[in-house]
């Protein structure tokens, strides 16, 4: 059996996978283009796989961060050309409990990464009615502290003559002007980056980021989704400017994009870059992939997640298409409370949870050997893993022996620990004359008309674990093996509703993008596909068939037993996430002729 050979769990969590981003329109731009700004959208590149930089300046900075994290007051102080007065102002603030309020996690007491960005003499405009009198002697300074983990700026107003902290403000989602050493570091990170060098055609120096055309070397940028501190060193080549978004929280390049020099327009930010890249490369066009005997097309849809289509193996058509129509999430403690989420493209779509990263393609490794390949796509709510935000994954596994698995997972976190996820998978088989049968404990019993089935404790399987069989006109047959915890991916079983319907030409029952197919909270078979069966089921014999597969995964937040869950924790002063995916989905195994 497939699962007896695999160590799928390790595939997901170990480093065996040699992951590579798929760039369907991998055009990193050319400085000789004379394109309009709109056309330059195709030059967007996002890098979710780039490691943190490791050159000398970055390593030295990291050492300082680590030292600050272990200090009694976990703050990296400002030392750039500070006067004695500035140092005193800083020290006064660092001794104030209110100023230090957000420097550690309130529960675990783990230190956050904090750094004083600026200390300067308070200007008249910095003062208010409340603070005017306390600063009348001219002794007031402002101290700006940035918390990289929480994206909070704390501003202390301190009088160095009276040695009093006058006022402390904590400003969420606010970032102060970055200090000169971080500006320099950002430029170096950009200049040292291979993608930047490749796009420019040369390795830029610091001076290349300083140009009159854009007035400043460091354009303002934002990382709206990651909530990280980002800036954009910009390099000009001929009549184009290459924006490089540098993530100073992770110390890496997050993406690049060409723009026209001198054209006033929106700044290049993380969200815009991601939306452009995903839209241009994966939402507008289908990519054809040929690998290991398999041939297929894949693209992101408006509301049905990632769709693979025209799948064939060694030239034999296997699937017309496969996609994920809806995620139904219901919460048992609140009757009727939940969501029916579509997943899909980030721009112009009916998706509630959207793709912000490119699809990933990687080798499937079994027992240390390449056994096939996998295509994965994640869809995120922007606030994930905070409560009521979601992260869904689609996963298509294609094996060298002709088997394949259509899987999906929720990675939490949702609105509570009483949630049940019901993804609706639509799998349309190739060919116009298929038949479908179910193992009844003794024989394969044909389904004569459109119907549904629930996988339960008393469901009969073959000794290999097969439940259904699809026979195609050309003589090829496929066994369907539902997940029952055997795939070693952490999954605890599908408990799936399976529906089979006819895929009639001229009658669109989900072949094109489907809007929301069903409500959030039905616990029975009424998940949406029954609409195409009731009230008059049609005969199935010798028709093109669609298998609708709706697994049911109950989440769990019990320590050590988490499932469909995610939680935040502090690592190296930054918020990280522990993921507990609940994978589900059937394996399809070719029957030997």
Give the footprint of another protein on this chain (CB under 8 A): 173-174, 220, 222, 224, 266-267, 269, 271-272, 275, 279, 283-284, 302-303, 337, 339-342, 344-354, 381-383, 386-389, 415, 512-513, 515-516, 518-519
Q: What three-state secondary structure class fits 530? A: helix
Q: What three-state secondary structure class fits 11? A: helix
Following DSSP, what letter does each residue of 354-411 receive, concatenated? Answer: E--S--EEEEEEETTEEEEEEEEEEEE-TTTTSTT-EEEEEEEEEETTS-EEEEEEEE
For another protein, the closer of residues 6 and 214 by Cβ is 214
Cα separation of 499 and 449, whole Å?
Answer: 11
- Are 473 and 541 in contact, with CB atoms under 8 Å apart? no
Record the tokens describing residue 102, joined without a space.
């957000």
For another protein, the closer of residues 167 and 349 by Cβ is 349
At its nearest, how many Å lie between another protein and the CB of residue 302? Answer: 5
Cα separation of 27 and 198, whole Å?
Answer: 11
For another protein, the closer of residues 344 and 537 by Cβ is 344
At its nearest, how many Å lie between another protein and the CB of residue 267? Answer: 6
For another protein, the closer of residues 53 and 351 by Cβ is 351
For another protein, the closer of residues 405 and 422 by Cβ is 422
Q: Tell whether omega for the bond before 185 is within 30 degrees of 0, i.e. cis.
A: no
Cα separation of 587 and 220, whole Å?
Answer: 48
Residue 131, phi then psi, degrees to nearest 5: -110, -10
* Residues sharing a CB contact under 8 Å with residue 448, sequence separation 6 or more, in sequence order: 539, 540, 541
At its nearest, how many Å lie between another protein and the CB of residue 38? Answer: 10
At its nearest, how many Å lie between another protein and the CB of residue 416? Answer: 9
At its nearest, how many Å lie between another protein and the CB of residue 409? Answer: 20
Cα separation of 162 and 158, whole Å?
Answer: 9
For another protein, the closer of residues 381 and 435 by Cβ is 381
3-state secondary structure 261-306: CCCCCCCCCHHHHHHHHHHHHHHCCCEEEEECCEEEEEEECCCECE
CA distances from 49 to 165, 252, 575 (A): 43, 10, 18
Cα separation of 125 and 453, whole Å?
Answer: 70
Helical axes 56-69 vs 180-192, angle rounded to 10°: 130
For another protein, the closer of residues 46 and 353 by Cβ is 353
At its nearest, how many Å lie between another protein and the CB of residue 310? Answer: 20
- Are 31 and 240 in contact, with CB atoms under 8 Å apart? yes
For another protein, the closer of residues 334 and 576 by Cβ is 334
At its nearest, how many Å lie between another protein and the CB of residue 352? Answer: 5
For another protein, the closer of residues 41 and 191 by Cβ is 41
Record the tokens describing residue 436, joined without a space.
């479908």
For another protein, the closer of residues 244 and 279 by Cβ is 279
At its nearest, how many Å lie between another protein and the CB of residue 476? Answer: 33
At its nearest, how many Å lie between another protein and the CB of residue 224? Answer: 6
CA 571 to chain centre: 19
At its nearest, how many Å lie between another protein and the CB of residue 542? Answer: 31
Residue keyed to tokens 């047959």: 477
For another protein, the closer of residues 65 and 351 by Cβ is 351
At its nearest, how many Å lie between another protein and the CB of residue 120? Answer: 18
Q: What three-state secondary structure class fits 119? A: strand
């Amino acid at each position: 059996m497939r699962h007896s050979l695999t160590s799928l769990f390790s595939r997901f969590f170990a480093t065996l996978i040699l992951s590579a981003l798929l760039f369907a329109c991998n055009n990193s731009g050319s400085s000789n283009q004379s394109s309009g700004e709109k056309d330059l959208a195709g030059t967007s590149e996002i890098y979710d796989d780039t490691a943190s930089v490791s050159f000398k300046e970055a390593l030295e900075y990291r050492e300082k961060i680590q030292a600050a994290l272990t200090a009694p007051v976990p703050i990296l102080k400002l030392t750039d050309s500070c006067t004695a007065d500035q140092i005193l102002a800083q020290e006064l603030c660092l001794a104030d409990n209110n100023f230090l309020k957000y420097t550690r996690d309130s529960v675990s007491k783990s230190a956050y990464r904090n750094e004083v960005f600026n200390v300067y003499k308070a200007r008249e405009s910095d003062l208010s009615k409340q603070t005017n009198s306390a600063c009348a002697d001219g002794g007031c300074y402002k101290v700006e502290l940035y918390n990289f983990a929480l994206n909070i700026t704390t501003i202390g107003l301190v009088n160095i003559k009276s040695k009093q902290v006058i006022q402390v403000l904590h400003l969420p989602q606010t970032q102060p002007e970055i200090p000169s050493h971080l500006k320099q570091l950002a430029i170096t990170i950009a200049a040292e980056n291979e993608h930047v060098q490749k796009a420019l055609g040369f390795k830029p120096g610091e001076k290349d980021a300083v140009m009159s055309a854009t007035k400043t070397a460091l354009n303002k940028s934002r990382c709206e989704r990651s909530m990280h501190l980002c800036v954009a060193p910009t390099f000009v080549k001929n009549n184009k400017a290459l924006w490089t978004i540098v993530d100073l929280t992770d110390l890496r390049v997050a993406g690049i994009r060409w723009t026209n020099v001198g054209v006033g327009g929106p700044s290049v930010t993380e969200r815009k870059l991601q939306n452009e890249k995903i839209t241009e490369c994966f939402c507008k066009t289908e990519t054809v992939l040929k690998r290991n005997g398999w041939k297929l097309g894949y693209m992101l849809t408006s509301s049905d997640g990632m769709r693979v289509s025209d799948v064939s193996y060694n030239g034999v058509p296997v699937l017309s298409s496969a996609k994920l129509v809806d995620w139904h999430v219901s919460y048992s403690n609140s009757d009727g409370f939940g969501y029916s989420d579509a997943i899909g493209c980030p721009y112009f779509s009916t998706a509630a949870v959207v793709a912000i990263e490119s699809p990933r393609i990687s080798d499937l490794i079994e027992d240390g050997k390449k056994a096939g390949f996998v295509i994965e796509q994640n869809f995120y709510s922007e606030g994930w893993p905070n409560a009521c935000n979601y992260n869904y994954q689609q996963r298509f596994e294609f094996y060298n022996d002709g088997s394949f698995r259509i899987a999906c997972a929720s990675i939490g976190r949702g609105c509570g620990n009483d949630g049940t996820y019901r993804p609706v998978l639509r799998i349309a088989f190739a060919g116009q004359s298929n038949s479908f049968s179910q193992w009844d404990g003794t024989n394969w019993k044909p389904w004569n008309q459109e119907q549904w089935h629930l996988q339960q404790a008393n469901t009969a399987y073959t000794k290999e674990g097969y439940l259904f069989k699809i026979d195609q006109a050309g003589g090829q047959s496929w066994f369907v093996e539902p997940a029952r915890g055997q795939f070693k991916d952490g999954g605890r079983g599908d408990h799936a509703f399976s529906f089979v319907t006819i895929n009639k030409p001229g009658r669109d029952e989900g072949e094109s993008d489907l809007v929301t197919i069903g409500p959030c909270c039905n616990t029975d078979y009424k998940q949406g596909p029954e609409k195409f069966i009731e009230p008059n089921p049609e005969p199935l014999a010798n028709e093109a068939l669609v298998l609708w597969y709706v697994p049911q995964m109950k989440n769990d937040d019990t320590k050590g037993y988490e499932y469909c869950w995610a939680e935040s924790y502090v690592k190296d002063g930054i918020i990280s996430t522990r993921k507990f995916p609940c994978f589900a989905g059937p394996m399809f195994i070719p029957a030997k002729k």
